[in-house]
Amino acid sequence: MPQIQELEGRFKVTEADRRVVAEFKKNPVGHHTPELQQVLNRFRGAPMADKYCLIIETPFKKWRLGQTTGDRAQPVKPLDKTFTSLEDAEWHVFKLRWKMHTGETLK
């Protein structure tokens, strides 16, 4: 799995940010504290190549894990993982992005 190359002067996810993991797991969809929102903004603002995302297969019912190519002209690559809960899908993507930014695997 590729590691995100940090840009100088930009917010970086660190061990101190680990405190927001439980908050996200409890409430992956909706409003978040400023600390969690800062981590989510960093995840979302990372370069587009190989970023994990969700593809809606059936609105409000089924989501598929996807990965971006980094080329806006190319579609997202569908992966072999599907979800029937948006909360489970968001938690899965959060864990993958956490791993990309910190190297730590969340359980």
pLDDT digits (tens, 9 = 90+) for 30-75: 999 999 999 999 999 999 999 999 999 999 999 999 999 999 999 9
pLDDT at 20: 95
* Contact present, 54 and 65 (Cβ < 8 Å): yes
Q: Is residue 9 part of a domain?
A: no
Residue 85 lies in a domain: yes
The pTM of this model reads: 0.87
Q: How many CB atoms within 10 Å of residue 87?
A: 13
95 lies in which domain range?
A: 15-102
Residue 75 lies in a domain: yes
- Is 5 inside a domain boundary? no
Is there a domain that residue 46 lies in?
Answer: yes
Could you tell me if 45 and 51 are in contact, meaning their C-beta atoms sit under 8 angstroms apart? no
Report the number of distinct structural domains present in the chain: 1
To the nearest whole percent, how much of the chain has pLDDT over 90?
80
Q: Which amino acid is at 76?
A: V
pLDDT of residue 3: 45
